């Protein structure tokens, strides 16, 4: 691919972001190519440029003269000689991984994942499903029509009529559209609050919670607010939502989102969910805790290089503590909705099973969702729902609803 001088800032930006994502996604292979030619230490800027050079040479079918001019222009002065050497070397055969012997190591090298995560997926999901999961298939983006900006009307408003061939209706979830092609700019519709980008599975979690007008809702781990806004919509902006998150910058984004989307019933509370000291009880507690993000690796590929069994265990422990706090603040007739964008058992089924075992008066309930959305949970938790990117074309997701027996 030649780096052409794209004058459309949106598509140039999208392509640049795509390159960064791919460079992060394939970091293991690119590191191997670069270190075979330049084994010494490099600054971060030099390393990024070297990996970009390898990516463009190997993945995009070679370096055009134009591309090389651009790469040279990006080079720090004292890296020029190394870059020239790399530009020559990347045309040679790719160095092979030193540990291609074992099947799992070979899959790791081919799918650009750590051997640990490959073994985990094969052990947990079986080889066939693991291979599909690890190969990171493409998934579409989804938008939700924000009926708080249409006086409750769920028909496609006039402003969106021209987008009918781009917005594909999602059967069984009214008001949610799959963005099927590269759409014309949606920025006007987004800034007026008519639309909100939200993954289908994330919206399903809110629908599964079954919020209704005039309820009291505690929204744990709320920023940047996608679920808060969907809750407010399903509650017709009537009732009360208290949205808690400990990140001040992320809650600033949450406030902007609430203004943009016309949400009037949510109030922010900045604090640590595990140490809030609240006493009042709520009819619905929605808990969307921090997680390993193994269901959204395609959108955030650097995560997979940080992932370890220890980090998954740490998330699982934190999620368990947060679920206990959700339970403490639940009214006697209330319900908890637990969701993550993780694929691991430790952060999903194991958290829920341990909770139900510790609180025999609580049980998982069937989700009020169309049966074609997602698959049953694992480890006997058939009432919960999992979403697999390769099957559902959504983020990898887990949803559980807990109520008193």
Ligand X SMILES: C[S@@+](CC[C@H](N)C(=O)[O-])C[C@H]1O[C@@H](n2cnc3c(N)ncnc32)[C@H](O)[C@@H]1O
CB of 115 to ligand X, least distance (A): 27
For tokens 């963005």, name the residue: 179
CB 219 within 8 A of CB 227: yes
Nearer to ligand X, 64 or 247 (CB): 247
CB of 122 to ligand X, least distance (A): 27
Nearer to ligand X, 178 or 250 (CB): 250
CB 329 within 8 A of CB 286: no
Give yes or no for residue 325 binding ligand X (CB under 6 A): no
Nearer to ligand X, 244 or 373 (CB): 244
The three-class DSSP label of residue 401 is: strand
Residue from the set 21, 58, 129, 250 that interacts with ligand X by CB under 6 A: 250
Residue 106's nearest CA partner among 163, 170, 29 is 29
Number of residues that bind ligand X (CB under 6 A): 18
42, burial (CB in 10 Å: exposed 0-12, middle 13-18, buried 19+): middle
Give yes or no for residue 246 binding ligand X (CB under 6 A): yes
State the Cα–Cα distance between residues 123 and 126, nearest whole angstrom: 6
CB of 186 to ligand X, least distance (A): 19
Give yes or no for residue 221 binding ligand X (CB under 6 A): yes
Give yes or no for residue 222 binding ligand X (CB under 6 A): yes
Contact region with ligand X (CB under 6 A), list: 12-20, 97-105, 269-277, 372-380: 269-277
Contact region with ligand X (CB under 6 A), list: 148-156, 240-248, 353-361, 372-380: 240-248
Residue with the shortest CB distance to ligand X: 221
Residue from the set 269, 290, 298, 390 that interacts with ligand X by CB under 6 A: 290
State the Cα–Cα distance between residues 30 and 95, nearest whole angstrom: 10
State the Cα–Cα distance between residues 375 and 391, nearest whole angstrom: 9
CB of 269 to ligand X, least distance (A): 9
Residue from the set 33, 55, 160, 226 that interacts with ligand X by CB under 6 A: 226
Give yes or no for residue 207 binding ligand X (CB under 6 A): no
Q: Measure CA of the first residue to CA of the last residue in the chain; give whole Å.
A: 60
CB of 222 to ligand X, least distance (A): 5
Sign for the pseudo-dihedral over CA of 311, 313, 318, 323: positive
Contact region with ligand X (CB under 6 A), list: 93-101, 116-124, 217-225, 385-393: 217-225
Q: How many CB atoms lie within 10 A of CB 310?
A: 8
Residue 77's nearest CA partner among 54, 52, 45 is 45
Give yes or no for residue 245 binding ligand X (CB under 6 A): yes
Give yes or no for residue 272 binding ligand X (CB under 6 A): yes
Sign for the pseudo-dihedral over CA of 254, 260, 265, 267: positive
Give yes or no for residue 224 binding ligand X (CB under 6 A): yes
Residue from the set 56, 122, 160, 273 that interacts with ligand X by CB under 6 A: 273
Nearer to ligand X, 62 or 271 (CB): 271
Instruction: List the beta bridge partners of residue 179.
Output: 141, 167
CB of 86 to ligand X, least distance (A): 39
- Show the site string, 161-190: x = touches ligand X by CB under 6 A, - = not: ------------------------------
Residue from the set 135, 192, 236, 247 that interacts with ligand X by CB under 6 A: 247
User: Which residues have a Cβ under 8 Å from the Cβ of 372 and sit 6 or more positions away?
Assistant: 172
State the Cα–Cα distance between residues 396 and 133, nearest whole angstrom: 9
- Cα 167 to Cα 143, 147, 191, 248, 322, distances in angstroms: 8, 16, 18, 34, 37
The three-class DSSP label of residue 387 is: strand
Give yes or no for residue 274 binding ligand X (CB under 6 A): yes
Give yes or no for residue 82 binding ligand X (CB under 6 A): no
Per CB under 6 A, residues contacting ligand X are 202, 221-227, 244-247, 250, 272-274, 288, 290
């Amino acid at each position: 691919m030649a780096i052409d001088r794209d004058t459309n800032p949106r598509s140039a930006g999208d392509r640049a972001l795509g390159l960064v994502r791919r460079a992060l996604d394939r970091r293991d292979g690119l590191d191997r190519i670069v270190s075979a030619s330049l084994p010494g230490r490099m600054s971060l800027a030099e390393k990024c440029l070297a990996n970009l050079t390898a990516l463009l040479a190997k993945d995009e079918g070679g370096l055009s003269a134009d591309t090389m001019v651009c790469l040279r222009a990006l080079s720090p002065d004292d890296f020029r000689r190394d870059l020239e050497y790399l530009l020559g070397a990347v045309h040679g055969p790719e160095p092979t991984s030193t540990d291609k012997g074992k099947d799992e190591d070979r899959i790791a090298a081919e799918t650009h994942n750590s051997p640990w995560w490959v073994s985990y997926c094969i052990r947990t999901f079986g080889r066939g499903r693991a291979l599909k999961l690890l190969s990171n298939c493409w998934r579409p983006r989804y938008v939700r029509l924000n009926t708080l900006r249409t006086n409750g009307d769920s028909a496609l408003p006039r402003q969106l009529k021209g987008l009918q061939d781009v917005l594909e209706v999602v059967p069984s979830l009214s008001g949610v559209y799959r963005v099927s092609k590269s759409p014309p700019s949606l920025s006007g519709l987004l800034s007026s609050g008519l639309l909100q980008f939200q993954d289908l599975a994330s919206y399903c979690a809110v629908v599964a919670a079954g919020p209704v007008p005039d309820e009291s809702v505690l929204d744990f781990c709320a920023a940047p607010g996608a679920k808060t806004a969907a809750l407010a919509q399903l509650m017709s902006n009537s009732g009360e939502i208290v949205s808690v998150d400990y990140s001040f910058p992320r809650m600033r984004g949450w406030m902007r989102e609430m203004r943009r989307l016309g949400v009037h019933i949510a109030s922010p509370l900045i604090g640590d969910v595990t140490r809030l000291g609240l006493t009042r009880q709520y009819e619905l507690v929605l808990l969307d805790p921090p997680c390993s993000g193994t269901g959204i690796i395609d959108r955030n590929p650097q995560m997979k290089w940080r992932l370890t069994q220890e980090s998954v265990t740490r998330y699982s422990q934190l999620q368990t503590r947060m679920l206990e706090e959700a339970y403490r603040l639940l009214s006697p007739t209330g319900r908890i909705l637990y969701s993550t964008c993780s694929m691991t058992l430790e952060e999903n089924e194991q958290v829920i099973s341990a909770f139900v075992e510790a609180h025999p008066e609580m049980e998982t309930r069937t989700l009020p969702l169309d049966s074609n959305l997602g698959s049953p949970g694992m480890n006997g938790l058939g009432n919960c729902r999992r979403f697999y990117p390769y099957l559902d074309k959504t983020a990898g997701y887990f949803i559980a609803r807990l109520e008193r027996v």
